[in-house]
Structure 1
């Protein structure tokens, strides 16, 4: 391996960053060479890198680099135009976007196998912590677009600032991925996607070019592969992946709407064989792995996939990434609201092992900010105006006793500065997390930042009926909005600021971005410190 050299890292403009999703670096391709391996590239003149590049799960010494070979990405058999032969794919990572010979930090090769849809997951090590790098791939004579990534800081590093974005729910038929394009222009260290990266349903759209290919719901591996190919073929999504490393976790639509563990929403008859749904879940999990920059430890074993994990960013932040689908009990159905059954002891959202992992990790953390990447709302949100109450059953409200075990642990162990970032609801909201939501005088154990969707729900508006009701009926809520967009977070040792970034429209191209609200949290002070609406 080449020796590390101290370098002065160049800074790119936003225009240059976006240019990385094009043909950057093709002229300087001499450091990538063809191979004489028997598994040499089979691709011909077609571009095999139509799905772009990505990086993810950064550690202090490295990241995962991802691509997938698909010269015909929308081929209906889900194979992307590839044969059944393996392909050698070379990769290199550099300290300069020109990929000059003296800037190459590491290089290597991976076998893109047909069993994993010719995807590549290169786990790169030996890099310097908290550094910007550029990377690219080669298969045959074709070179991929270049991507920009950044390693995590050393575990004991004292950071002055960390910038990351989080989002969820990118339903292609609902609109254009304009928010991803704006996200790519931010100077981010990290992006978190909290689920519903693709949607499994038929998805016929009135928006030109946004209907799901094949117009059918996905049930098998070829179908899920085709769905990911269509989403990853989107230039705005490619731009966001190429601009920063991502941490990803799925919710329900990567498999099936509102599924719970081994239970399908489509058929809950007593004589339904769970093996039927688990076969579908296995196909969905495999396609998820094939199309995301996650580590090999997440390769599915049948219908099981290791998804929850923890990443550290120096002494500033821990990122606890949850899996709220694979191990949960079934949703409560037919319960008269406000549904006291949601407090049944023993019900679980995370499963016993993941719950122990989360609670012990939060209580043992020595980082300033304890970030929990979570798919579905944890705070109580009474959705009924006036007398009476109504709560959702597919989120933590329907698993209130499991949520109470989590909140009690935070309180009993004196865990400070817990911030839950959440997706799924197609709206934005900010809440103080109360030890007992029925008693607003009870202690505040954290803050939840509910983030809106990329497209799901359509254009939206500043305030809809649900948002108005939530604010009126739930005094622990401090902010609400129902437009599309993403959330940009800036962390320091003393303060957390979240900008709620919204686009004015997604049903037509060219949506304009703006900041609708700024949320401030002070380290060591429970709850939201300030909300600034624009």
Structure 2
């Protein structure tokens, strides 16, 4: 977003800021006054190392604030459930207080707000601090303090108020970062582009471990996590990566999940291999809780799960609707037998479940929310950001049999139709997707006409499918205009009032931590015109 940098006096007047405390939600912080006093009497982690090993982050920006995140973890890969991150629960049963500063400059010389946040013991000593009362359309910088330790400085920004003029927005979107398959240089290059917002569209971590082929970096415990301890350690290992930390410190994020945050190809309440429902529910809840503990998200976990779908509105320029395509989806269609779940091809003629109108990818409540979000948007560009490819990619075998892949939108055709009908009522709808480890540009079709463009980003590190398979999709589907699986990277999108331009950025090699950057292809959509053209 193009904004001028105000003087300190202008900034203070505009925000009404002095050294007042940060506005927070009603989380019962007043109940922790003894812990604040204890913290201020000295370092509660005496003898420990730096507690800010996992960095800082901001998320869910609004016109007057954002969520600030960190997690205290002096020993981040500690396997002891009684001492998550190396902090003993018996010593800090409720949590640890730490100081927060918000400033007008990256050097933190002009501090505008000071306050106290709680690293909650119940959530692995993580902080989710809602900040509000700030000036719209402004950059801010922040950091945390605990005893002699100070976190890295993070950058956040507030958005232009909904419906107010906004002339530019730059955002990046990413997917599929398997720690074992390569280095996160794509995150480093995205941070260097200084985006206003980053969308992370799933597979932020991988629960799997590679057993039968070499890896560049080994998951620390070399085991598939199934418990809260296991998922915590997996997230902590990813969060220790300097390129990932740098990206989170550079720009606010909106984060959704796909399957690998829990288990490959799970669907709602259903395990990939039909594990006992109660056992899988415990595993899923543990995974969701660890996700919450490591992400700058607004909502807390509850007994049924964690509500993460969200939206932001950037003035009159853009509304981004971020979807959750895993938690509420119906079970995949037409499983062959128990123990043979997960994504698979089904014959459309012999799978009546495919056309069951009650089946949903998003769940009824989220479908209704999205419809309202699109219908009431004041924005010129309406982005739907979600986890899996949306374009129709039915396959035909040598006998002409049409099959559908059950783990993507092809496995939920009537739910996709309902979403596409919603898109027809929005101005300039565009869909961003991930999951498939390749770059795509597709037209999204409804009754023979294009209603929106879809851009799919490749993976940060995960291996792509065979390019020959993608070429077959290009040859068979006129609405698929570009598909490339041999490159890893991310997508950068630049929006103005008149155009939306999407760049497919690629890294030279995921095995090189200093990999260079290139642009594979760019596409542009003009305001009021459906479909993308080569830029």
Instruction: Find 2:458's aligned residue among 452, 461, 466.
Output: 452
Q: How do 1:34-49 residues align onto structure 2 when only pairs under 5 Å count? A: 37-38=37-38, 41-44=43-46, 45-49=48-52
Query: Do structure 1's residue 424 and structure 2's residue 424 form an aligned pair?
Result: no
C-alpha distance in structure 1 between counterparts of 2:215 and 2:327, whole Å = 33
C-alpha distance in structure 1 between counterparts of 2:493 and 2:274, whole Å = 40
Query: Do structure 1's residue 232 and structure 2's residue 239 form an aligned pair?
Result: yes
SS of the aligned residue for 2:347 comes to coil
Preserved contact between residue 76 and residue 214 of structure 1 (Cα < 8 Å)? no
Q: What does residue 23 of structure 1 align with? A: none
Unaligned runs of 5+ in 2: 1-7, 13-34, 337-344
C-alpha distance in structure 2 between counterparts of 1:203 and 1:236, whole Å = 22
Q: Name which of structure 1's ranges 508-517 and 222-231 shifts more when overlaid on structure 2.
A: 508-517
SS of the aligned residue for 2:140 comes to strand
Preserved contact between residue 98 and residue 116 of structure 2 (Cα < 8 Å)? yes
Query: Do structure 1's residue 518 and structure 2's residue 522 form an aligned pair?
Result: yes
- TM score, norm. by length of structure 1: 0.87
The 1:525/1:36 distance shift into structure 2, 3 A limit, reads: closer
Instruction: Find 1:181's aligned residue among 188, 192, 203.
Output: 188
SS of the aligned residue for 1:96 comes to coil
C-alpha distance in structure 1 between counterparts of 2:120 and 2:36, whole Å = 17
C-alpha distance in structure 1 between counterparts of 2:270 and 2:195, whole Å = 38
Q: What does residue 392 of structure 1 align with? A: 405
Query: Do structure 1's residue 498 and structure 2's residue 507 form an aligned pair?
Result: no
SS of the aligned residue for 1:58 comes to coil
Preserved contact between residue 281 and residue 303 of structure 1 (Cα < 8 Å)? no
C-alpha distance in structure 2 between counterparts of 1:487 and 1:409, whole Å = 25
Q: CA deviation at 1:97?
A: 1.5
Q: What does residue 148 of structure 2 align with? A: 141
SS of the aligned residue for 2:180 comes to helix
Query: Do structure 1's residue 362 and structure 2's residue 374 form an aligned pair?
Result: yes
Q: What does residue 284 of structure 2 align with? A: 281
C-alpha distance in structure 1 between counterparts of 2:372 and 2:419, whole Å = 10
Q: What does residue 107 of structure 2 align with? A: 98
Q: Deviations over 1:359-383 (max 9, x none)?
A: 1221222211111111111111134
Q: Name which of structure 1's ranges 176-185 and 390-399 shifts more when overlaid on structure 2.
A: 390-399
C-alpha distance in structure 2 between counterparts of 1:188 and 1:195, whole Å = 19
- TM score, norm. by length of structure 2: 0.87
C-alpha distance in structure 2 between counterparts of 1:176 and 1:7, whole Å = 39
C-alpha distance in structure 1 between counterparts of 2:118 and 2:36, whole Å = 13
Preserved contact between residue 172 and residue 197 of structure 2 (Cα < 8 Å)? yes
Query: Do structure 1's residue 472 and structure 2's residue 475 form an aligned pair?
Result: yes
Q: CA deviation at 1:388?
A: 4.3
C-alpha distance in structure 1 between counterparts of 2:397 and 2:502, whole Å = 29
Q: Deviations over 1:206-260 (max 9, x none)?
A: 344x111111111111111000000000001001111111110111111111111
Q: How do 1:429-448 residues align onto structure 2 when only pairs under 5 Å count? A: 429-436=440-447, 442-448=448-454
Q: What does residue 315 of structure 1 align with? A: 316
Q: CA deviation at 1:153?
A: 1.2
Q: What does residue 292 of structure 1 align with? A: 295
C-alpha distance in structure 1 between counterparts of 2:394 and 2:475, whole Å = 9
User: In angstroms, what is the RMSD of aligned CA positions?
Assistant: 2.0
Preserved contact between residue 36 and residue 97 of structure 2 (Cα < 8 Å)? no
Q: How do 1:149-188 residues align onto structure 2 when only pairs under 5 Å count? A: 149-188=156-195
Q: Deviations over 1:42-73 (max 9, x none)?
A: 22351111101111111111111111011111
Instruction: Find 1:407's aligned residue among 404, 420, 425.
Output: 420
Query: Do structure 1's residue 259 and structure 2's residue 266 form an aligned pair?
Result: yes
Instruction: Find 1:206's aligned residue among 214, 229, 232.
Output: 214
Preserved contact between residue 316 and residue 492 of structure 1 (Cα < 8 Å)? yes
Q: What does residue 85 of structure 2 align with? A: 80
